[in-house]
Structure 1
Amino acid sequence: MDGINLPAMLGGIGLFLLGMTMMTDGLKLAVGPAFSRLLHAWTATRWRGLLFGILATALVQSSTAITVATIGFVNAGLLSLGQSLWVIFGANVGTTFTAWLVAVIGFKFKLDAAALPLIGIGILLRMSGQETRRGAIGGVIGGFGILFLGLGFLQQAFTGGSSLELGTLSGQGIWSLLAFVLAGTLLTILMQASAAVLAIILTLAEAGVLPLNEAAAAVIGANIGTTATALLAAIGATPNARRAALAHVLFNVLTAVVALISLPLLLALIASLLAWLGSGNQPAVGLALFHTLFSVLGVLLMLPLASHLSNFLGQRFRTGEEDICRPHYIDRNVGSVPSLAVDALHREISRLGNIVLDIARRRSSTDGAGPATWPRVNPFPPLSRAILDFVAGVNRHPMPQDTARNLATLLRVHRYYDTCHELCAELGPIHSTLPALAAPDLVDGGRALAAQAALLFERLDPLLPERGLPEAEALTSFELDYHALKAKLLEAGAAGSIPIEQMDEVMSGFSALRRLLEQANKAARTLATLAPVAGSAPVVLENA
């Protein structure tokens, strides 16, 4: 490797990756919750979803970020799997913008002259307003400058690249092409950034180190390598996240196979286009055009296959009722985009509320069935723990102030439901001791109060919004009836009509029921201050 300046190459790769990261993070923070609204509004049809995926990826410069956001909406139930596929396909086309950025700007201008002022302006803006939109825009500008500075170092690294020895890989026909596909794939997996690998490939081709056909094979490999991130993200994720990740893999592999088979034809077409445009010998531009052409070709291939692919994926990773203990809307993918994470967390906490209120209804029942009607498995503890872990992960990412406030509100609701769950354990005497009282009026009064609470729990259930929150009069009526029953229990105990131990147990059970109702009311009314949740079905717990 006598022709390579190794320090300049490593530094260039590092600066390029740093610039890409700053641009992506800055744009995600600058756009904020508007990104969620745009994604939801622009995916109503396959063409709008495709266009959104292309434009958003070109803007954010990260197909992974767009894919993760799409998975978040699928998890939240706001997008169908079929809709999400077209955003993912569009993201694969949009990622070709990086190649055009490098080919058209990176090799046509003196990069140092543009990069250094951008870095200076961007860092000053970022330092003047951390965690603000101004600071986010500064991160984008600074990242843009650092990206081009890194590209400049890469160009310097391969200035003498004509003496780079690639004879072991080149000149072996189809085996050379496969070797470069593998090299591009492995480099992308190792670097976890196809943009940086594309920059290296384009630089080598522009310097004359790589023939165009072998450089094109390496571009195909880089496209395959991007699927590694999706596969890693799918480990331990929700079923919909796995389906979206598998869609990404299948699309990229199919596109790569077709591109490799038609490589001579595509390269001939590109050569004709460049000659017709009078562009002359510009390997980097030719590779950027090749990248775009085979990505668009992949989309065209998917037009008749998308519905079949959606049906195929829908049959994969199917879950049974035992998966009720696992989150349905949250995972680490959606957690990386705070504005999406809040929407998914809203749905998951609403589901948690539905579960705990169903447990409360069963445990306060006075029908005498007792534990026979209780859930065979209590999903609350693992689901609650997963929610807290999810919130901890979301807090590691910068977020706008309104998103942070919504996150804090949802965390407060979670605490209310956690208290409800603790109180559920104290409801036992209502179904066990109350029916055994030798005072029919007290038994009837207790059953009426428990039935009244069950109706209120249904009104407070976040997944039964059509019932509407209970009026203040209904809650006041419960409170008055509770105190009336408590007074009768105390009188009966004092008169010796019922044993003191039974009186204490029944009073303890109804006291827990009253406090549980208060916490459920606080949770429901706090949730009502946020946007309503639609499209979530009540959870059905299996009996023992």
Structure 2
Amino acid sequence: MHFDIFASLFGGLGLFLIGMRLMTTGLKQAAGNSLKRILGEWTKTPARGLFSGFMITALVQSSSAVTVAVIGFVNAGLITLAQSIGIIYGSNIGTTVTGWIVAAVGFSVNMKNFALPMVALGSLLRLTGGNSRRAFLGDSFAGFGLFLMGISTLQTAFKGIESTLDLSAFASMGTISIPVFIGIGLILTLLMQSSSAAMALVLTATVSGLLDVTQGAAAVIGTNIGTTSTAALAVIGATVNAKKVATGHIIFNIITALAALLLLPIIIKGIQFSLQAAGAPVEPAVVLAMFHTIFNILGVIILWPFTDRLVSFIDSRFSTTISDKGRPRYLDSNVVGTPALAIEALTLEMRRIGELTRTIVRNGLHSSFNYGAFAEDKEAQDSLIEASRAFCIKLQAVPLSTSQAAQIATALRVLQYFRTAGALSESLDRKNLRPNRSALGDDADMITVFINSCIGVLNIAENPCSEEFCQIDNMINDMLSAYHDLKARLLTAGGSGELPVPEMVEQLELYSKMRRITRQAAKGAVYLAAVNPASGICCPTNSIKFAWNRHW
């Protein structure tokens, strides 16, 4: 086998994979929140979930991208596991569109007539689009052009391989050869981590005469099984919800593959008979594309009546896996490639951190930062903040729009506010400072008023969608007034000798840090409301942030 044949084979495969990656990434980025909105609105019933899964996968040409989006929605609590299973059904049917593109375009027209103009158009949009949606559409056009060029190159390579590689020995093995070609399809998908690329290779090899239709069909079944490896690898160390979605995906693909294997000769003969009856040419690429689509639809028909039982089985399988307080619940590396979903996941995790921070501060205010679970809560807060920062770093490594980059910057700011609140609380815990009410005599109630005003600010910060949240500036004014009154009284007590100066200094430090802790926790809540308004934050924050700048 000559070097130029190898070069064409691997070069064509490289063009195909790069083109698929560019096309998928470009379409995901161009869709942005539209992908989230479509999946969010079109999954109310299993049937709508199946349809939306099919349409989105057919558009972005990646079932993995849709699976990642589903994981993000299940993590966010926007859809149930049952709804996600419906999307997975549709996504598996949608991924068969790749075979139809290869069959319809790859072997019927001169692809260079389309490929180079696509690359030229995509490059023009990318060069003139900056970081806008137009630039990402340019990536998708250029990716489709490379996709077509890759298919053309593979055709040429397989024509050269056909004359030097004889697989007829496998054909003489009869039904025993079927597992061999299933294994070939499986290995191709494992190596390339793309069932679409493996499918293109199988179709091209079959059209070139390297494989017969039955062998090609067996390899197609192998690609369907192989695609489960992507899901399995993606959920290593992932969230519980991610594992549930991936498990549903794996179960569907395995059952579908088994059904296709058992009915392989029947389906192939039925397709060939139907094409002949319709007077259409029985082309291998069309037969395999139809086979791929039919057995995935068959898988949906088989599993659809048992969807509820499947969901119950998956839930029970992972029911004992409970995330602890310090383990991220929403952060999943699988969603990093889709920034709109990743930012939503980050927002949800930061809400957890905010709730935990306010719990630390609130309990601390009640107990002078010496309550029993403080060490555990602080350790959990540190762990979640570190995980969220690491997630932000991963997000910064992918293409982001200007608004998304600003959201990440704000998220890092929020995390710093929460971290500071926790660090100040830990400082007070170590120093073991206590309010000295007796030193203020009849004015001891001033301490209670100040602490209650701090707690009031924290309570309002709990619900950014409440009307009270929009009035948080007024609560902050009340808290500041109570602090300054208390500070003035302590200074008077120290100056008059009612309170020893060292004790006065300690009391001033205590209340000053209480004020700062409350401020940091509340500022984190306010800026968090601006990170992802589409995820349920109702109150406008511009006027509130202006108040922060005015006060501090």
Q: Shorter-chain TM-score category?
A: over 0.9
* Correspondence 1:279 to 2:299: no
Write the deviation string for residues 338-369 of structure 1: whole angstroms up to 9, x where unpaired.
01111111111111111101000111114x79
Matches within 5 A, 1:227-306: 227-306=228-307
Aligned to 1:342: 343
Matches within 5 A, 1:323-402: 323-366=324-367, 370-372=370-372, 374=374, 376-378=376-378, 379-402=380-403
Matches within 5 A, 1:112-131: 112-131=112-131
Aligned to 2:25: 25
Q: Distance in 1 between matches of 2:372 and 2:347?
A: 31
Call closer, same or farther: CA 1:447–1:522 in 2, change over 3 Å. same
The secondary structure found in structure 2 opposite 1:498 is coil
RMSD of the TM alignment (CA)? 2.4
Write the deviation string for residues 71-104 of structure 1: whole angstroms up to 9, x where unpaired.
1111111111111111111111101000000111
Q: Distance in 2 between matches of 1:31 and 1:532?
A: 15
Whether contact under 8 Å (2:453, 2:478) holds in the other structure is no
Q: Distance in 2 between matches of 1:179 and 1:45?
A: 40
Aligned to 2:308: 307
CA offset at residue 233 of structure 1? 0.9
Per the normalisation by structure 1, the TM-score is 0.92
Q: Distance in 2 between matches of 1:533 and 1:435?
A: 44
Higher normalized contact order (CA 8 Å, seq sep 6+, divided by chain length): 1
The secondary structure found in structure 2 opposite 1:165 is coil
Whether contact under 8 Å (2:464, 2:529) holds in the other structure is no
Aligned to 1:149: 149
The secondary structure found in structure 2 opposite 1:455 is helix
Call closer, same or farther: CA 1:440–1:131 in 2, change over 3 Å. same
Q: Distance in 1 between matches of 2:369 and 2:519?
A: 26
Aligned to 2:417: 416
Q: Distance in 2 between matches of 1:471 and 1:253?
A: 54
CA offset at residue 232 of structure 1? 1.1
What letter corresponds to residue 186 of structure 2 in structure 1? Answer: T
What letter corresponds to residue 385 of structure 1 in structure 2? Answer: E
Whether contact under 8 Å (2:453, 2:482) holds in the other structure is no
Of residues 222-231 and 126-135 in structure 1, the stretch that sits farther from structure 2 once superposed is 126-135
Write the deviation string for residues 190-212 of structure 1: whole angstroms up to 9, x where unpaired.
11111111111111111222121
Corresponding pairs, count = 534
CA offset at residue 5 of structure 1? 2.2
Aligned to 1:166: 167
Aligned to 2:493: 492
Call closer, same or farther: CA 1:435–1:313 in 2, change over 3 Å. farther
CA offset at residue 238 of structure 1? 0.6
Write the deviation string for residues 258-309 of structure 1: whole angstroms up to 9, x where unpaired.
1101111111211122112222230110000000000111111121111111
Per the normalisation by structure 2, the TM-score is 0.91
The answer to which structure has the higher helix fraction is 2
Matches within 5 A, 1:131-142: 131-142=131-142
Q: Distance in 2 between matches of 1:419 and 1:97?
A: 51
Of residues 479-488 and 227-236 in structure 1, the stretch that sits farther from structure 2 once superposed is 479-488
Call closer, same or farther: CA 1:334–1:441 in 2, change over 3 Å. farther
The secondary structure found in structure 2 opposite 1:44 is coil
Aligned to 2:541: none
CA offset at residue 64 of structure 1? 0.6
Whether contact under 8 Å (1:364, 1:430) holds in the other structure is no
Write the deviation string for residues 476-524 of structure 1: whole angstroms up to 9, x where unpaired.
2221211111122222223333333332222112101111222233233
What letter corresponds to residue 304 of structure 1 in structure 2? Answer: P
Call closer, same or farther: CA 1:251–1:234 in 2, change over 3 Å. same
Q: Distance in 1 between matches of 2:112 and 2:445?
A: 85
Aligned to 1:519: 520
Aligned to 1:531: 533
The secondary structure found in structure 1 opposite 2:35 is helix
Whether contact under 8 Å (1:429, 1:509) holds in the other structure is no
Whether contact under 8 Å (2:460, 2:472) holds in the other structure is no
Aligned to 1:59: 59
Identity %: 39
Of residues 185-194 and 375-384 in structure 1, the stretch that sits farther from structure 2 once superposed is 375-384
Matches within 5 A, 1:76-225: 76-160=76-160, 161=162, 163-225=164-226
Q: Distance in 1 between matches of 2:444 and 2:177?
A: 85
Aligned to 1:538: none
What letter corresponds to residue 274 of structure 2 in structure 1? Answer: L
Structure 1 unmatched runs, 5+: 536-544
Q: Distance in 2 between matches of 1:384 and 1:23?
A: 34
What letter corresponds to residue 477 of structure 2 in structure 1? Answer: T
